[in-house]
């Protein structure tokens, strides 16, 4: 047998195997294979943020474990990797970097800068994925910013438009005044901020009597269209139908009843403005109130704000409050803690604006989403309620248009003279309507030859919510449905409401089919202090720091073993250090085995003189296989990792190897056949450990596999060896019970030596065991070879009767007495 190198340099071997696996092509998905079942992973293409952070490490480790496990189970695994390039976040960074706003430079220039930044970021993140040793098929790599990907996004839009899912509407939308674009509900974050509640007097028309209204947004007073009270509020219902004067702008509005008013909040009288918040939107629709647009797209007061026109929202608030005070209409103010919706990219206060936008009808799908979510397997199961609750909570359809530059263009034009909408034909895409006219002679409705391009672009989720179909080869491969739905969609807990949801609605609408069969959820990575990991909290650890210091195999053990799938996982250096120590232990036991197997040639047919401890460890390895396989099937990586590490460390290294060392070293005492049995057992059990571990720690296990196993097991890589099938026939409870007793005696006697501060190989002149009964005596007698050898016993006596001496804790009634003496052998 080839020998293992002396030194284990993790950085070197990890780099070496990453390169060799690539050369071997073992990650290549074989599109034409009809023999093996396919298993497809819907790798979520990440936003290139420039950093492959610990959250990514957790995420990618999860699905890389799945990919490696499935390959060993004989699947043809599709593990693609794309990049979700578009989006506000890149634009915001380009604007900052070049100190401009998107409109200050030609769109081409702006796009180019965005692309450059994205490429730089992709390179950095790719390095992280490679360093982690992810088994990605890089021939599948794609970028959503490339026109070839636009083609797919645009095609999906055209198909959905034809099916009636896409529409344009003037509808209130969430609007970020800084980014100057509509944003979806899912892009609104909530922050706790301290606001001020202003108590303002609204005079009844033609009277000095007033109603007091408390509002945190007095700047919206110019857009007040009604005042509301609860119909059963005895204090105020006498005013219903009366007219009231909106201060500052002196417009008269009507007092209307609405059950939705909470009489106990503020003063119980509410002003309705267009739009202060989402409640206002509902009220306006319900009571068919007029809309006064107050804000411009960049968050200033427009001409409807009268003398406040041109001011920013904050300036307007200040001016209006001053004017109210001067008019004697501001009664008092008080502090108000509030939850404020902010843009998830730039953290600006989100406003509600009524703008013409493109929408996808998503609410009509809610029932189907719920039904389908229940058909999908979720790891862990309770995560499905997050998707269902989110779908049910949506008030509005999905606004899919954005007023940005760096995104996929919406393939639509309008006739200049009659306004007719011209939808691109399927074969025209990819197309940028801003650069090209529709490929028709004239408007089909009025005959005009002039067209206006749609300037809006798609929300970036329009790109990334068709990946399940795209990864399967849609629309280019005729057989794409062979690889669809995806077998697993991995997702962070924080993006279920976006990624898992948008995938669901897009694929249901497009193909009337669920996008994924299962959903694998990872939690968030917390800092070592248990709070969310964040640069500002100073509990942040960058992944290169971890990977460079301890390597991938140790880091992956942290990710796999850090906690239950779906739960938040704290980053703790000791977890990674433990992973490293485990690797060293595995390396040492493999080196030991390698030395003692030098003269060993594995043979399937050899007659084996298996001893009780051999049978004991073989049976335990079989049970381990069952537990690990079950855990892998349920994506319980922490259970798999713990089981294998405990077995390796405690059962294999601490017990078995220690107990058979003497048998391996001294065949002249124990017999050649007995030695061969130990060699066989050690060889096979170590192989089992390497196989079960390899999805979690692929590098070191491969390093050990190649010289020791590859020539005999015949797989060019451990990564594509067949996952061991649990064989119940190999579980031998009786052998385990017998082995437990023998092992307990050895351990107890070694402990006794340690307590007496004797070396572990100190000779025992005579060891007498009072087994208490004949059964135990027989068992101990069968283990005599390993017991006497390991404990260095000169005379070994087993008696089936009771006696007094040292009792084995786990086996009451089994007593041993050792007589030390003579010269201690070193």
Judged by the rule CB under 5 A, the positions of this chain that interact with Zn ion are 176, 178-179, 343, 345-346, 348, 415, 418, 420, 443, 445-446, 448
Using DSSP, state whether 491 is helix, strand or coil: strand
Nearer to Zn ion, 87 or 739 (CB): 87
Shortest CB 439 distance to Zn ion, Å: 16
Nearer to Zn ion, 304 or 448 (CB): 448
Length of the chain: 826
Shortest CB 353 distance to Zn ion, Å: 13
What's CA 654's distance to the chain center, in Å? 36
Report the relative pairing of strands 451-453 and 181-183 from DSSP bridges. Answer: unpaired
- The Cβ of residue 258 has, within 10 Å, a number of other Cβ atoms equal to 17
In angstroms, rounded to a whole number, what is the distance separating the alpha carbons of residues 194 and 336?
6
Nearer to Zn ion, 348 or 626 (CB): 348
Q: Which two tokens stand for residue 296?
A: 């411009």
Nearer to Zn ion, 92 or 388 (CB): 92
The one-character DSSP state at 741 is H
Nearer to Zn ion, 448 or 626 (CB): 448
Shortest CB 413 distance to Zn ion, Å: 10
State how far the alpha carbon of 620 is from the alpha carbons of 455, 648, 798, in Å: 66, 11, 26
Nearer to Zn ion, 61 or 181 (CB): 181
For residue 414, list its beta bridge partners: 421, 452
For residue 795, count CB atoms less than 10 angstroms from its CB and return exposed for 0-12, middle for 13-18, buried for 19 or more.
Answer: exposed
How many CA atoms lie less than 13 Å away from 129 in the CB half-sphere?
26
Shortest CB 417 distance to Zn ion, Å: 5
Nearer to Zn ion, 86 or 749 (CB): 86
In angstroms, rounded to a whole number, what is the distance separating the alpha carbons of residues 684 and 709?
10
For residue 667, count CB atoms less than 10 angstroms from its CB and return exposed for 0-12, middle for 13-18, buried for 19 or more.
Answer: middle
Shortest CB 180 distance to Zn ion, Å: 8
Comparing CA positions, the residue from 355, 370, 361 lying closest to residue 509 is 361
Shortest CB 411 distance to Zn ion, Å: 18
* Phi (first) and psi of residue 338, to 5 degrees: -145, 155
Shortest CB 637 distance to Zn ion, Å: 37
For residue 254, count CB atoms less than 10 angstroms from its CB and return exposed for 0-12, middle for 13-18, buried for 19 or more.
Answer: middle
Shortest CB 345 distance to Zn ion, Å: 5
Nearer to Zn ion, 343 or 387 (CB): 343
Shortest CB 531 distance to Zn ion, Å: 25
Residue found by looking up tokens 């909570």 in the block: 393
Q: Where are the alpha helices (DSSP H) in 167-239?
A: none
Nearer to Zn ion, 341 or 783 (CB): 341
Shortest CB 190 distance to Zn ion, Å: 14
Are residues 291 and 171 in contact, defined by beta-carbon separation less than 8 angstroms? no
Nearer to Zn ion, 26 or 415 (CB): 415
State how far the alpha carbon of 361 is from the alpha carbons of 184, 395, 397, 398, in Å: 13, 12, 5, 7
Nearer to Zn ion, 89 or 710 (CB): 89
Comparing CA positions, the residue from 681, 661, 673, 656 lying closest to residue 609 is 673
Residue found by looking up tokens 């006697």 in the block: 749
Q: Say how many Å lie between the first and final Cα of the chain, rounded.
A: 30
Nearer to Zn ion, 127 or 189 (CB): 189
How many CA atoms lie less than 13 Å away from 582 in the CB half-sphere?
31
Shortest CB 344 distance to Zn ion, Å: 8
Shortest CB 448 distance to Zn ion, Å: 5
Give the sign of the dihedral formed by CA 236, CA 238, CA 239, CA 240.
Answer: positive
Nearer to Zn ion, 343 or 376 (CB): 343
Shortest CB 357 distance to Zn ion, Å: 16
Nearer to Zn ion, 301 or 422 (CB): 422
Mark residue 268 as left, alpha or beta (left: phi above 0; alpha: psi -120 to 50; beta: remaining). left
Edge-first strand listing for the sheet containing 210-215: 210-215, 188-203, 330-343
- Measured N-to-C along each axis, helices 10-24 and 698-708 cross at an angle, to the nearest 10 degrees, of 80
- Measured N-to-C along each axis, helices 147-162 and 501-511 cross at an angle, to the nearest 10 degrees, of 60
How many CA atoms lie less than 13 Å away from 178 in the CB half-sphere?
16
- SS (HEC) of 99-135: CCCHHHCCHHHHHHHHHHHHHHHHHHHHHHHHHCCCC
Shortest CB 231 distance to Zn ion, Å: 39
Shortest CB 322 distance to Zn ion, Å: 29
Nearer to Zn ion, 117 or 519 (CB): 117
Shortest CB 182 distance to Zn ion, Å: 11
State how far the alpha carbon of 374 is from the alpha carbons of 325, 484, 519, 592, 687, in Å: 57, 18, 11, 51, 40
Nearer to Zn ion, 450 or 672 (CB): 450
> Using alpha carbons only, how large is the chain's radius of gyration in Å?
36
Between the CA atoms of 444, 450, 456 and 457, what dihedral angle is there, to the nearest 10 degrees?
A: 70
Nearer to Zn ion, 152 or 178 (CB): 178
Shortest CB 444 distance to Zn ion, Å: 8
Shortest CB 172 distance to Zn ion, Å: 17
Nearer to Zn ion, 356 or 442 (CB): 442
Residue found by looking up tokens 């269209």 in the block: 225
In angstroms, rounded to a whole number, what is the distance separating the alpha carbons of residues 128 and 756?
51
In angstroms, rounded to a whole number, what is the distance separating the alpha carbons of residues 533 and 745?
48
Q: What does the longest C-alpha to C-alpha distance in the chain come to?
A: 118
């Amino acid at each position: 047998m080839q020998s293992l190198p002396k030194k284990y340099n993790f950085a070197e071997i990890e780099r070496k195997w990453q390169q060799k696996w690539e050369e071997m092509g073992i990650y290549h998905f074989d599109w034409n294979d009809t023999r093996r079942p396919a298993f497809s992973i819907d790798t979520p293409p990440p936003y290139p943020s420039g950093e492959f952070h610990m959250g990514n490490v957790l995420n990618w480790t999860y699905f890389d474990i799945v990919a490696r496990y499935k390959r060993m189970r004989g699947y043809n695994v599709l593990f693609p990797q794309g990049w979700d390039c578009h989006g506000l976040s890149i634009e915001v960074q380009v604007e900052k970097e070049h100190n401009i706003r998107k409109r200050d430079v030609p769109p081409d220039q702006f796009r180019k800068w965005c692309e450059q930044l994205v490429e730089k970021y992709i390179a950095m993140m790719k390095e992280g994925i490679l360093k982690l040793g992810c088994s990605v098929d890089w021939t599948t790599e794609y970028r959503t910013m490339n026109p070839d990907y636009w083609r797919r996004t645009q095609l999906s839009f055209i198909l959905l438009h034809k099916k009636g899912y896409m529409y344009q509407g003037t509808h209130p939308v969430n609007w970020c005044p800084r980014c100057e674009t509509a944003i979806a509900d899912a892009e609104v974050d909530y922050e706790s901020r301290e606001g001020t509640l202003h108590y303002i007097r609204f005079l009844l028309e033609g009277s000095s009597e007033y109603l007091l209204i408390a509002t945190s947004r007095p700047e919206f007073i110019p857009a007040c269209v009604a005042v509301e009270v609860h119909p059963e509020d005895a204090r105020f219902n006498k005013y219903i139908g009366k007219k009231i004067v909106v201060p500052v702008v002196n417009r008269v509005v009507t007092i209307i009843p609405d059950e939705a008013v909470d009489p106990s909040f503020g003063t119980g009288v509410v002003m309705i403005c267009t739009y202060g918040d989402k409640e206002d939107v509902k009220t306006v629709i319900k009571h068919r109130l007029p809309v006064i647009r107050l804000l411009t797209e960049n968050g200033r007061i427009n001409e409807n704000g009268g003398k406040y026109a041109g001011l920013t929202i904050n300036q307007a608030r200040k001016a209006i409050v001053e004017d109210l005070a001067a008019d004697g209409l501001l009664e008092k103010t008080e502090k108000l803690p509030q939850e404020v919706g902010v843009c998830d990219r730039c953290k600006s206060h989100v406003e509600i604006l009524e703008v013409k936008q493109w929408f996808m009808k998503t609410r009509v799908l809610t029932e189907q989403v719920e039904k389908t979510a229940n058909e999908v397997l979720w790891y862990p199961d309770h995560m499905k309620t997050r998707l269902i609750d989110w779908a049910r909570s949506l008030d509005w359809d999905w606004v899919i248009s954005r007023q940005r530059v760096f995104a996929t263009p919406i393939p639509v034009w309008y006739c200049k003279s009659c306004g007719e909408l011209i939808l691109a034909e399927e074969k025209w895409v990819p197309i940028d309507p801003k650069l090209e006219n529709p490929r028709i002679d004239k408007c089909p409705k009025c005959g005009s030859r002039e067209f206006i391009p749609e300037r809006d672009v798609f929300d970036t989720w329009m790109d990334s919510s068709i990946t399940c179909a795209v990864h399967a080869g849609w629309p280019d491969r005729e057989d794409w449905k062979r690889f669809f739905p995806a077998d697993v969609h991995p997702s962070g807990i924080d993006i279920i409401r976006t990624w898992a949801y948008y995938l669901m609605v897009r694929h249901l609408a497009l193909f009337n089919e669920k996008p994924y069969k299962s959903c694998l959820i990872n939690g968030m990575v917390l800092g070592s202090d248990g709070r969310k990991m964040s640069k500002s909290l100073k509990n942040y650890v960058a992944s290169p720091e971890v990977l460079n210091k301890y390597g991938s195999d140790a880091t992956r053990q942290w990710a796999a073993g850090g906690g239950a799938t779906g739960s938040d996982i704290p980053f703790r250096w000791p977890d990674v250090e433990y992973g490293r120590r485990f690797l060293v232990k595995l390396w040492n036991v493999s080196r030991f085995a390698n030395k003692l197997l030098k003269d060993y040639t594995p043979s399937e047919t050899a007659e084996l003189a298996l001893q009780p401890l051999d049978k004991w460890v073989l049976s335990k390895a079989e049970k381990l296989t069952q537990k690990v396989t079950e855990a892998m099937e349920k994506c319980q990586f922490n259970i798999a990792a713990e089981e294998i590490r405990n077995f390796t460390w405690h059962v294999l290294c601490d017990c078995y190897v220690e107990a058979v060392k003497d048998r391996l070293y001294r065949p002249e005492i124990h017999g050649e056949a007995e030695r061969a049995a130990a060699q066989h057992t050690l060889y096979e059990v170590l192989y089992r450990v390497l196989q079960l571990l390899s999805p979690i720690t692929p590098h070191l296990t491969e390093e050990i596999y190649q010289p020791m196993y590859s020539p005999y097991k015949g797989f060019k890589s451990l990564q594509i060896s067949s996952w061991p099938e649990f064989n119940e026939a190999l579980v031998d409870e009786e052998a385990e019970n017998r082995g437990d007793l023998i092992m307990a005696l050895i351990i107890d006697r070694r402990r006794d030596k340690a307590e007496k501060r004797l070396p572990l190989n100190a000779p025992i002149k005579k060891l007498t065991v009072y087994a208490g009964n004949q059964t135990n005596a027989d068992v101990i007698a069968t283990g005599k070879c390993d017991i006497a050898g390991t404990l260095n016993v000169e005379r070994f006596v087993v008696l089936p009767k009771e006696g007094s001496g040292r009792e084995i804790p786990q086996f009451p009634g089994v007593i041993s007495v050792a007589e030390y003496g003579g010269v201690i052998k070193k």
